[in-house]
Amino acid sequence: MKGLFRALGNFWPIATAAILLVQAFLGVFHAVSATPAPLTFDSRPWALSSAVVSTVSSAIWVAVFLAARKKAPKTASPWSWSILGVLLSSVFFAYFASIFVSHQASGFKLGLLLAAGTGCAGLWTAWRLYTPRLSGSAHAVEVILLYTSLAILGIEALLRIWSAFSPSPWTVALSGEPEKLIRAFKLTPYTPGPYMVNSLGFNDTQFQEDKASSSFRIAAISDSFGVGVVKYDRNVFTLLEKKLRASRPDLNIEVYNFSVACGSIDTYYSLYNTEIKRFSPDLLVLMLFAGNDLEPPSRQTLFEPGDLLIDRLVTRALAWLKVSISERENSNAQKGKNERDWTPPVLPRKSFIRLERHRLAWIASKDLEKRARPVLDRLERLIREAGVPVMLAVAPDQVQVDPLLLGDVARGRSVGRDELFKAQEILKKLAGKTGASFVDLTPGLLDAEKKGHRTYCLQNTHWNELGNEVAARELFGALDKMLRKNMISDTGN
């Protein structure tokens, strides 16, 4: 057994040093010769920092290797630092390739942290080689480090088992399998609160597969805009159903809300084929969010940044904590305000502006249509395979309708109308190509904002009650016009 540990002690220092050198090369390559996408403009400084720390850590491990060749046979207990080196370098190996693939600042920040941690482990290992007999406190530190590493790996294994059988919003990969995303972000059936959650986990009353001959059934799909952050009776699709029923009392109009938070074209396609078809809709309403629904999911690889579930869990828990603190700090600000068009801030201001800059960089990018082509192709496939008329509705990002927010986000940069509303134009062109109807919700929301009415929750990115009302009014206008002009069948199947 000691021979095995000695072999590990000789192998892992040089392997770790090599991995660190590769990471340093990738960081320099990205910072010097790569052209970051608009979403990752801030990654170069982190790439260089990661490269410098990786180089230093690599030199440390080369020194460890040379010392191990000379001292390991005489070391009384080589197992502890050998296993620690194995664990740290293995974790590092699982991340360095993905950091280069993603070109994301967050990836290089993680690379910097891991390189620094691996370098510290190298320093400890070098000192341990020359100090075979440790004092009580030093030995305690070594044991704590080792067993902490083992505990992290154990927690990671348990999280993966749990996530495999029960996908959760806390751990599911946002670029993962659509079926897992749907299961993770569906609401818990019959949960009390602002939502009316049915047995299938959607924010609506109970769905019925049987359909009367006088019924006209509309299936509505969206992301968190369709789920909403308001009460059920103020939700955009609830209001739409009320307006349509009042306008067409001769029809039993039903609007089934199949929206799922964090939805994408892939999840919509899966939802339609696995859950919606059996309810025999007469019309499919796809409400897409201009801010990110055209953005392709991140590249799914084994070494995807954030692929460690414990990392994903901690990151989302911290984000939730920030939101909770922000809500609590600003809850008193709502007193005396009209809740219909005003809500207290949810996200911290800095986090909100950072998010909107990310979205503006995406929707205003020069090659948006080219970069969104994979998503557009899947959307076209869904429309053509639906088997029923389809209406494409576009929900704008707040930065597209709030001039003050646009000024803060753009940081002095002039953003033309053609740039700002490029996503809407792309989707309008796709609707014309596929024969789908099209409605842009932007004009109504923009008009309300110009009149001094807030339509989005403050620092939240979602509609408040007034925003839902305006969006429902715009959707109703388009659908009522379609029905009255017989552009879609006004009788059930």
- DSSP string of 92-139, one letter each residue: HHHHHHHHHHH--HHHHHHHHHHHHHHHHHHHHHHHHHT--S--HHHH
Question: Which tens digits make up the pLDDT trace of 156-196?
Answer: 778 878 877 788 887 777 766 888 888 888 998 988 778 89
Would the pTM count as exceeding 0.85?
A: no
Same domain, 252 and 367: yes
Q: Where is average pLDDT lowest: 22-31, 201-210, 292-301, 353-362? A: 292-301
Domain extent for 129: 2-133
Confidence at residue 345, expressed as pLDDT on a 0 to 100 scale: 57
DSSP state of 201: S
Assign 209 a pLDDT band (cuts: 50, 70, 90). very high
- Euclidean distance between CA atoms 197 and 205, whole angstroms: 7
H or E segment to which residue 465 belongs = helix 465-484
- Euclidean distance between CA atoms 458 and 398, whole angstroms: 10
Assign 39 a pLDDT band (cuts: 50, 70, 90). very low
Q: Which of helix, strand or coil describes residue 44? A: helix
Q: Where is average pLDDT lowest: 46-50, 379-383, 432-436? A: 46-50
CB-count burial class (<10 Å; 0-12, 13-18, 19+) for 336: exposed
Q: How does DSSP assign 144-168, residue by residue?
A: HHHHHHHHHHHHHHHHHHHHHHS--
Please state the domain count of the chain.
Answer: 2
Confidence at residue 77, expressed as pLDDT on a 0 to 100 scale: 47
Decide if 178 is inside a domain: no
- Euclidean distance between CA atoms 240 and 234, whole angstroms: 10
Decide if 173 is inside a domain: no
Confidence at residue 36, expressed as pLDDT on a 0 to 100 scale: 43
Question: Which tens digits make up the pLDDT trace of 421-439?
Answer: 999 999 999 999 999 999 9
- Euclidean distance between CA atoms 18 and 328, whole angstroms: 48
Q: How does DSSP assign 397-436, residue by residue?
A: PHHHH-HHHHHHHHTT----HHHHTHHHHHHHHHHHHHT-
Same domain, 390 and 258: yes
Decide if 141 is inside a domain: no
Q: Is the dihedral of CA 229, 282, 429, 470 positive or negative?
A: negative
- Euclidean distance between CA atoms 361 and 41, whole angstroms: 10
Residue of 407, 393, 396 lying closest to 455 (CA atoms): 396
Question: Which tens digits make up the pLDDT trace of 303-312?
Answer: 344 566 777 7
Cβ–Cβ < 8 Å for 455, 464: yes
- Euclidean distance between CA atoms 121 and 102, whole angstroms: 27
Q: Which residue has the tokens 């979205």?
A: 359
Please report which residue ranges of 203-300 form alpha helices under DSSP H.
224-227, 236-247, 265-271
Decide if 429 is inside a domain: yes
Between 384 and 332, where is the model more confident? 384
Overall average pLDDT of the 350-375 stretch? 89
Mark which of 82, 104, 133 sits at the end of a domain: 133
Q: In this structure, what token pair is assigned to residue 329?
A: 């700090």
Q: Which residue has the tokens 């309810």?
A: 279
Q: In this structure, what token pair is assigned to residue 26?
A: 């990738």
Question: Which tens digits make up the pLDDT trace of 109-127?
Answer: 767 777 787 788 778 777 7
Decide if 151 is inside a domain: no
Decide if 196 is inside a domain: no
Between 49 and 360, where is the model more confident? 360
Same domain, 205 and 124: no
**CATH code, domain carrying 282:** 3.40.50.1110
Question: What's the chain's Rg over C-alpha atoms?
Answer: 27
Same domain, 355 and 451: yes
